[in-house]
Amino acid sequence: QVQFVESGGGLVQPGGSLRLSCAASGSIFSIYAMGWYRQAPGKQRELVARIVNDGTANYANSVKGRFTISRNNAKNTVYLQMNSLKPEDTAVYFCATAPNFYSWGQGTQVTVSS
């Protein structure tokens, strides 16, 4: 069974930074591209960053230049470094394969507010 466990969220002021972590269980980590998604209240879940095995990353326009995705294949872990956070970044953040073929984890709440 594949599970994703996200951590690192919290309350941060505009302009601040957070680093999210995601541990993926199972044997899928080295096979698939991994992604960070987010879902704001009343909105659909969206993919904000995606990374393939060779480290090539892609970002949504809304986060490009502010967020950095990385992965440690030896630790089955993917990270999201978020800088220059804005109130519109407030959402629950999830990690999963990209595209996702498995159940979603609990996610981690990120709130950007003064």
The confidence score (pLDDT) of residue 73 equals 86
Q: What is the per-residue pLDDT across 39-96, written as a single tens digit (0 to 9) for each?
A: 999 999 999 999 998 899 999 999 999 999 999 988 999 999 999 999 999 999 999 9
Dist. CA 52–CA 61, nearest whole Å: 18
Q: Look up residue 13 and give its DSSP letter.
A: -
pLDDT band for position 29 (cuts 50, 70, 90): confident
Is a pLDDT exceeding 90 seen at residue 9?
yes
Q: In terms of DSSP bridges, do strands 57-59 and 18-24 run parallel, antiparallel, or are they unpaired?
A: unpaired
Q: Cβ-count burial of 13 within 10 angstroms (0-12 exposed, 13-18 middle, 19+ buried)?
A: exposed
pLDDT on residue 87: 97
Element (H, E) at 51: strand 46-51
- Cα gap 34→13, rounded to integer Å: 28
User: Does the pLDDT of residue 37 top 90, yes or no?
Assistant: yes
| Cβ-based neighbours of 64, under 8 Å, separated by 6 or more | none
